[in-house]
A = this chain, B = another copy of it.
Amino acid sequence: MEQDHLIALLIEATVLKRLPRTGWLLRGVPAAESIADHSFGTAFVVLALADVLNASGMLPAPLDTGQALAIAVLHDLPEARLTDLPGPTKHLIPREVKSQAEVKALEALTAALPSAVRFQALWREFEDESTPEGKLVRDADKLEMMIQCLRYELSGSRGLDDFWASMDRQEWRYPLCADLYARLKGMRP
């Protein structure tokens, strides 16, 4: 029955509150955030940045904030089945295999929803950075990680240098994000 699938999905999504972000665990952060914590953070960053960007008058066309929020809410949903595979697994599991696994997980999770196909397309915008909104969530996803990283450092965490080093090699899609990242970096203790 339709509603039972819907409930099963809503219950399963709560697991994102329990699954830790493994990147922090690998560095010994003592009370690592959950994937849901990060997903909320990303959605919040998206809301704030879309607002600033749209008000700046410098975009060719305004961003669809609602669409960007939907992408943010969905962007880590596959991890409810896959868990958060940390950076080093890149050298162990081929990128296409991981990407296919995420697609399969997303399809299975959202199967009961009327807009399942559209949700998968939204997630694809994030994965492929194929739309301005997808690009924004990409930037917000990274920026949120570094905001949290700085937050941990301000509280005394150490050994997170390689997060900054790898982010330095990152190209930002929006100059605003590059600017905010530079400021974050300037606040490191």
Chain A residues packing against B (C-beta within 8 Å)? 3-4, 6-7, 9-11, 13-20, 22, 25-31, 33-34, 36-37, 39-41, 43-45, 47-48, 51-52, 54-55, 64-67, 69-70, 73-74, 77, 81-86, 88-89, 91-94, 97-98, 101, 104-105, 108, 113-115, 119, 143-144, 147-148, 150-159, 179-180, 183-184, 187, 189
Contacts and interface: CB of A to CB of B under 8 A. Distances in A.
A34 B35 CA distance: 12
A16 B40 contact: yes
15 contacts: A6-B52, A7-B187, A14-B148, A15-B26, A17-B41, A17-B148, A37-B37, A47-B70, A51-B119, A55-B115, A69-B70, A81-B88, A89-B101, A155-B159, A156-B157
A51 B85 contact: no
Contact of A69 (B22, B69, B154, B187): B69
A15 B41 CA distance: 10
Contact of A83 (B22, B105, B189): B22
B151 A114 contact: no
